[in-house]
Structure formats: C-alpha cells, structure tokens
C-alpha cells in the first residue's frame, strides 16, 4: 500500500462522532441542585451558567459554567470538590458496545481566576459506565452507585484567566453498558476557605464539554471482529450520502471510494 492509503486509514481511526451531551456548552440552563436520575441534564453541587465573568470569557458560545461550592449553596458541602454529572443513554450504540468496539471520548475546557496562592488550582473529569437504568444512578442524595468502569483525569490549571485548558478522558466501554455518567468538577485543593461566610471557589469555570462515541476499529463495519469481504460488501451496499452510518468508515458523511480504500488498508483482524 502507498503512504497515501496508510494516511487515510490513520485518519479513519481518529474519527469521532457527534456530541452526546445536552448543553455541553452551558448555553441554555443552569444545572439542577441534585444528582441526575434521568439523561440529558447537568446536576449536583451548586453551579450556574453565566456570561463573561471575573475576566474570563466563555470558551465557546455566549455562556459557560461557574462552579460555586462543594455542596448546595449556604448549606456547606463535602469540602473536597464541586461536582456536576450528566447521564447519557447509550441505546443508539448498543450493537457497537456488545461487540466490544465502543470507545468514549470526553473533552472539557477549564479555566479559573488568579487571586494568589490560596486559589484552588485543580479540575477533574470522569467517565463512568453503568448497566441498568439511569434511575438507579444515585443510591442516596449524595452518593452514586458503583460503576462497571471508571476513567478519570485531573488537570492542574495555569493562573492565566485568558487561557482555557482542555482535558481528554478516553475509555473503552464495557459490554453490558446501558448508560454513561459524565462528571466534571473543580477540586478544593487549597483547604483554607471552608467557613460558611466565604466562597469556596472564587472563579472556576468549565465550557465546551463534549462526549463522543466511536469504534476502536472503524473499518470493521459489520462488527464481527475482522475486516474482510463482508465489510466491503456493506460499503458498496450503502454507497452514497450516509451519515451517520457505520459503512462511512472515514466519517466524512459520504460512503465512497475513500471508505473502500480504508477497508482494504485495514484488511485482517481487528481487536
Ligand atoms: Ca458555552
Ligand atoms: Ca487558564
Ligand atoms: Ca467485519
Ligand atoms: Ca466516507
């Protein structure tokens, strides 16, 4: 195969789908003050959707999220982190997950003010996979159920409010997963401001949170664990405009010659 064909195959492997989160940019509503039990809404610790604030501009759109406290406002929290969760139904990806080929990619932008050495500096993002129904996510008002898998990244931000830092969390989704719990948080890593009359977080923001689901092996169109004749047949069957569809191997919105080339380049086993 030529260098060109190899390049096309690598591009296909890096392809991503559309954002599975509702209001990942915090443009429409502020989060609820409770753990979510249904999909499609942010909730838990005190936080608000806001326009530009304290010298920080949204990373995208008109608004961003501001973390306010590690619990409900005025009631004190766990003193550890301000956390938000959103649940995502994976029913549309059931076939991909059952085949063991599904990969979740969570990205989030974080930024904060700089007031001095007492300013909290860390943020975190987590992906958790669950079986069962989203109604069983919370086991109490403040605790969530144990998950099938967990992937977490912690970020140390710089002290420049004009720059956003981005984290990426990747996880292979276990077979049997019914929904994902997406978490973003601001950590109270400077334990100096826990008195009720002082703000726990002095200007800590998140924006542009995205969750995409894709396949480990895009050229295995029929998800049988290998790339071969049947994958090529599926590509030829679905020739033309087709988005989203699994035979669009390079995820450019069209099933065509570049997808045939991607299948032929990846010919063989696929694990
Ligand atoms: Ca936004
Ligand atoms: Ca920054
Ligand atoms: Ca196949
Ligand atoms: Ca294509």
pLDDT tens sequence across 179-200: 999 999 999 888 766 555 566 7
Residues 6+ apart with CB under 8 A from 129: 104, 147, 148, 149, 150, 171, 173, 174, 177, 180
User: Which pLDDT band, with edges at 50, 70 and 90, does 121 fall under?
Assistant: very high
State the distance from the centre of ligand 4 to the C-alpha of 248, rounded, in angstroms: 4
Between 113 and 15, name the one with better pLDDT.
113
Closest ligand to Cα 234: 3
State the distance from the centre of ligand 3 to the C-alpha of 161, rounded, in angstroms: 48
Closest ligand to Cα 235: 4
State the distance from the centre of ligand 1 to the C-alpha of 263, rounded, in angstroms: 37
Give residue 258's pLDDT: 96
Between 118 and 238, name the one with better pLDDT.
238
**Rounded percentage of the chain residues whose pLDDT exceeds 70:** 89
State the distance from the centre of ligand 4 to the C-alpha of 225, rounded, in angstroms: 20
State the distance from the centre of ligand 2 to the C-alpha of 111, rounded, in angstroms: 5
Give residue 150's pLDDT: 96
pLDDT digits (tens, 9 = 90+) for 88-109: 999 999 988 988 889 999 999 9
Give residue 155's pLDDT: 96
State the distance from the centre of ligand 3 to the C-alpha of 180, rounded, in angstroms: 26
Query: Cα 147 vs. chain centroid, distance in angstroms?
Result: 16
Q: Is the pLDDT of residue 271 over 80?
A: no
pLDDT digits (tens, 9 = 90+) for 227-256: 999 999 999 999 998 877 889 998 888 999
State the distance from the centre of ligand 3 to the C-alpha of 231, rounded, in angstroms: 5
State the distance from the centre of ligand 3 to the C-alpha of 255, rounded, in angstroms: 16
Domain boundaries, the chain: 16-215, 218-269
State the distance from the centre of ligand 3 to the C-alpha of 271, rounded, in angstroms: 11
Give residue 71's pLDDT: 86
Give residue 9's pLDDT: 37
Between 2 and 171, name the one with better pLDDT.
171
Q: Stretch 7-27: mean pLDDT, rounded?
A: 67
Closest ligand to Cα 56: 2
Domain spanning 218-269: CATH 1.10.1330: yes
State the distance from the centre of ligand 3 to the C-alpha of 224, rounded, in angstroms: 5
Domain spanning 16-215 has what CATH number?
2.60.120.260
State the distance from the centre of ligand 3 to the C-alpha of 270, rounded, in angstroms: 8
State the distance from the centre of ligand 1 to the C-alpha of 49, rounded, in angstroms: 9
């Amino acid at each position: 195969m030529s260098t060109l064909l190899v390049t096309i195959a690598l591009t296909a492997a890096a392809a991503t789908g559309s954002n599975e989160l509702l209001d990942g940019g915090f443009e429409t509503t502020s989060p609820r003050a409770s753990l979510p039990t249904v999909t499609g809404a942010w909730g838990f610790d005190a936080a608000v959707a806001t326009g530009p604030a304290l010298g920080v501009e949204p990373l995208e759109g008109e608004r961003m999220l501001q973390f306010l406290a590690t619990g409900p406002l005025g009631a004190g929290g766990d003193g550890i982190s301000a956390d938000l969760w959103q649940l995502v139904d994976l029913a549309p990806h059931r076939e991909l997950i059952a085949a063991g080929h599904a990969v979740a990619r969570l990205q989030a932008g974080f930024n904060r003010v700089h007031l001095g050495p007492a300013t909290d500096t860390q943020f975190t993002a987590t992906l958790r996979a669950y079986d069962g129904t989203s109604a069983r996510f919370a086991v109490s008002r403040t605790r969530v159920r144990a998950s099938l898998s967990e992937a977490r990244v912690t970020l140390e931000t710089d002290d420049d409010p004009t720059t956003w830092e981005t984290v990426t969390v990747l996880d292979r989704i276990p077979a049997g997963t019914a929904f994902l719990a997406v978490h973003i948080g601001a950590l109270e890593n400077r334990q100096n401001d826990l008195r009720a009359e002082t703000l726990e977080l002095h200007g800590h923001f998140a924006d542009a949170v995205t969750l995409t689901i894709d396949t480990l092996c895009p050229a295995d169109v029929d998800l049988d664990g290998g790339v071969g004749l049947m994958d090529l047949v599926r590509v030829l069957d679905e020739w033309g405009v087709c988005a989203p569809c699994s035979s669009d191997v390079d995820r450019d919105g069209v099933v065509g010659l570049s997808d045939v080339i991607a299948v032929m380049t990846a010919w063989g086993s696929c694990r």
